[in-house]
Amino acid sequence: MINDILYMNGYGIYVWSSFIFTLTSFGILYSVVKLQLAKEQKKFEIKFNNLASEKIELAKKQETYREILSNTSTYKI
């Protein structure tokens, strides 16, 4: 059964390489986009932490800012 699935009447090399290429492409694209997102969140977090305290209080009132920071590891508001 396993051999049949792997061998696929001699077409296994073509079928498996197609599926592996597809899934690897998915993995690479997902990782790159995830990294870019994490990088932007980190940049936002650093900039937010360097704001003056009254500006931080002002920003805290905005739900959008709270939502962005909710995904960062070091800052929770």
Partner 1 sequence: MLNYFNPKNTILIINRLQKYVLILFLLVLVIGLLEALVLSPEDYKQSDSVRIMYVHVPSAWISLGIFSIISILSFGILIFKNKNFHLITKSLAPSGFVFNLIALVTGSIWGKPTWGTWWAWDARITSMLLLAVFYLMFILSWRVVDNNEKAIKVSSIIAILGLINIPIIKFSVDWWSTLHQPASINLLKETSIHSSMLLPLGIMTAAFALFSILIFLMKYNTELIKIKNKGLDRL
Contact 59, 51 (CB under 8 A): yes
Rule CB under 8 A: say whether 30 interacts with partner 1.
yes
- Residue carrying the six token digits 């051999």: 3
Rule CB under 8 A: say whether 22 interacts with partner 1.
yes
> Which residues in this chain contact partner 1 in the complex, by CB under 8 A?
5, 8-12, 14-15, 17-19, 21-22, 25-26, 29-30, 33-34, 36-37, 40-41, 43-44, 47-48, 51, 55, 58-59, 62-65, 67-68, 70-71
